Structures are given as C-alpha cells and as structure tokens.
Amino acid sequence: MHNRTFWRAVSCPAGPYGWLPLILIAILFFIIGFVTWLNGPLISFVKIAFSLDDISAFLIPFVFYISYFLFAIPASKIVTKQGLRQSLIYALSIMTAGMIVTGQFMKASSYLGALCGFLILGSGLALLQVAINPYISFLGPTDRAAQRIAIMGICNKVGGILAPIALAAFAMPHIGDFPLTYNAQNNSILQQQFISTIYWPYIGMATLLALTTLYIKCSTLPDIKISHLKNIETSVPTNSNPTLCFGVLAMFLYVGVEVLAGDAIGTYASGFHIPFRISSLFTSATLVCMLCGYLVGLICVPRHISEERALLLSCLTGFALSLLAYMTHGYISVACVALLGFSNSMIFPSLFPTVLNSTHNKTSFVSALLVMAYCGGGILPQCFVWLKSIIGFQAAFSALSCICYFVISLFILRFSKTPHNTNT
C-alpha cells in the first residue's frame, strides 16, 4: 500500500499534491486557451460585420493584451493579499463579468462596448495568469516545472484549437466566400446573423466560467504558500538582474510572435485572396502545430535533446520559416506561418520558470512583470497592420517575426547555462 502511494506521488508531475490539483489547473488552462484564441477568427469577422479597417479590427487583440500591462501589477497585489487559490476565484469571477459585457454589447451592435468587455475579460485573465503561472511552477518538484507547464500548454492549445471551430460552427454558418462578394446589403445581413448567433455562445461561456468558479471554491485545491511574498510594492532591482530585464523583453517578443502566427494569420491569408470560410480556421491550424510541438517536447526533452538546445532550435526553425513565408506565396506561405506554432511551442514552457526562478524573493512581482510583457500580443500585431501598408503584408510579417526569434535566441544563448535552467 505504501509502495503504491509512493509510486503515485513520484509518477505525478505535481509530486505529493497528486493528480486532482493538476487536473483542475489543466481545466483552467483549457479555458484560458479557448477564451484567448477566439480573437483570431473574430478579428476577420468584425472587420466585415462592422465595416472596419485593419487597424480598427486589430483593436480586439490590442485591448485584450494591453489589459495585461494595465492590470498585472494590481493583480500581483491581489495575489499577495489573498493568496494564489483565492486569486484564481476572483479572476474567474471577473472573466465571467467580461464575457457577459462582451456578449451584451455585441448583441447591441456596439463595437466600442464590446471592446470594453474585452478589457474586463483581459483584466480577469491578467489576474489569472499572475496567479496560475507561479501556482503551476511551484505545484510539485522544481525540476518538473517545465513538464507541468508543457502539460498545461497542451490543454491551453486544445482549448485554442476548438475556439475558432466552435465560433465558425455557431456564428458563421452562412458566410461562405463573403469577402469576394462584399457589398453593403451583404454586410447588413452578415451583421444581423452575427448578432443573433454570437450572444448565446458568450453567455454560455460566462455560465461555464461561473460554474468553474463555484467548483474551484468548493474544491480542495491546495493554497500554495510562496515565501517572501510580502512587500511586493517595493521596487525590484531590475537593473541588477539582467536575466529579469532580458527575460521580460523576450517574453514580450515571444507573445507578440505567437499572436502574430495565431491571430494575424487570417489577415495574412486575405492578402492572397483566400476565402474567409477557409482562412477563419487557420488559427486552429497554427495551434494544432503548436500542440504537436508540445507533444514532441514532452517526449524528446530532456531525454534526447537538452532544453537549451530545444529552445535554440525552436528559434532557428522559427527564423527559417519566417523567411520561407516571405519567399513563397499562397497556401504554402500561409502553411509556413501556421508551422510557426510548432517552433513557438517549446519557448514558453522554459522561458517563464527560467525568469521566475532568477528572483525567488519577488515571485509575485516578477510574475506580474512577465504577464505585463504579454502586451506584446497586442502591440506587435498593430505594428504588423501598420507596416503592411508600407512594405507589404509578407515583408511586414517576416521582418517582425525574424526580429523576435533573433532576440529570443540571444536570451537563450546568454542565460541558458544558469544553474537553475540546466536540464530541467
């Protein structure tokens, strides 16, 4: 009996905490993925339904991700005062409110109001990310943190894969080749179809979030205590910690290039006049590639290739695919963009704990800084839509992606030999 208990604890990536907390957190990561990756197909759709230009349509990821920058520090204070477990409950409650507000304003045909809903939703996600990433990092042995985060990444990307498919099934059943036959009458019809169908999925997701909140509140999810969590308001000596400074920049660029490959792929495909009924599913294609990357990483790292080499290889393949996307056209070029999901998959599972472990005494604050860096997911796509009007969509995408992978690879080469990041 004792041997069975010991084996269960050893085999579980959460160690003595067991599988139940890991499963509950995995559900939360699924929800995060589902909510986050709705943005990709939604960008192209609101552009048509509300007669928006690219810059206005890309306000969806901008508002969504800029909320991380605005609310991450307040979120870290909530984590300090309330603890990780209670912060998860607060975060889910805020996200529920954001879903309701977004659905109501979509129903009222108010794009500005819907953006306010995305801001509320993003603020809840900021709190959830500040709490959940250190939670999963410390939910078990330190040397298995990357494995736990990779598992969470799989759940996150499964939710992201299903999100565009669900949106297409519920809200876009009669779009067809709409961009090729655009006129004012069709736009009015499409907007009415969208309003009548998008409301209930958002209310349904709000209900799911509310039920999850109630379940977490009633569950036995452990409230992990992190030492030295107090006084996070005091300044962190970032200038004396190059790992933190460079790590925050790397996180900014990583989230930016991940969102470019996932959310902007529909706009990228429209440059080749690919029908919307097809391009609306390309976000799912990117996330399928990312999911495959997570699975390969779980099998091969660190058994067959070290974590450091896997990270560097991910950046090199991302750089090469970005160049190939520029050199090719049509579906081949779009496929190169989707394959960036595979390259991106092995970066985050090690990037977050590497930076987090560099400043143990400021865990909550450092987590907040890294979550603030998620605003790269809103800023880089805006840079893309601005640059594409000057140098073309292919050159703009490839230039931004190559810069991101180059800088991230510099971070890996500079800090991959630190003790806490070796063969984790």
Q: What is the mean pLDDT of residues 372-391?
A: 92
User: Which SS3 state, helix, strand or coil, does residue 235 take?
Assistant: coil
Among 240, 234, 250, smallest CA distance to 354 is for 250
From CA 390, how far away is CA 393, in angstroms rounded? Answer: 9
The domain locations on the chain are 2-223+236-421
Arch. (CATH architecture) of 2-223+236-421? Up-down Bundle (1.20)
Q: Residue 22 CB: number of other CB atoms within 10 A?
A: 19
Q: Which H helix or E strand runs over 395?
A: helix 393-415
Q: What is the mean pLDDT of residues 177-196?
A: 58
From CA 35, how far away is CA 255, in angstroms rounded? Answer: 16
For residue 44, give both structure tokens.
Answer: 């192209």
From CA 150, how far away is CA 349, in angstroms rounded? Answer: 6
Q: What is the identity of the amino acid at 59?
A: L
Cα–chain center distance at 201: 20
For residue 122, give both structure tokens.
Answer: 């993003």
Instruction: Please say whether the beta carbons of 251 and 373 come within 8 A.
Output: yes
Question: Residue 327 — very low, low, confident or very high, per pLDDT cuts 50/70/90?
Answer: very high
From CA 309, how far away is CA 422, in angstroms rounded? Answer: 11
Indicate the average pLDDT of the chain: 80
| Residue-level length of the chain | 424
Place of tokens 């204070």: 77
Q: What is the mean pLDDT of residues 331-347?
A: 92
Question: Residue 101 — very low, low, confident or very high, per pLDDT cuts 50/70/90?
Answer: very high
252-256, 276-280, 333-337: least confident range:
276-280
Q: Which H helix or E strand runs over 241?
A: none
Cα–chain center distance at 255: 7
Where are the extended beta strands (E) located within 115-200?
none
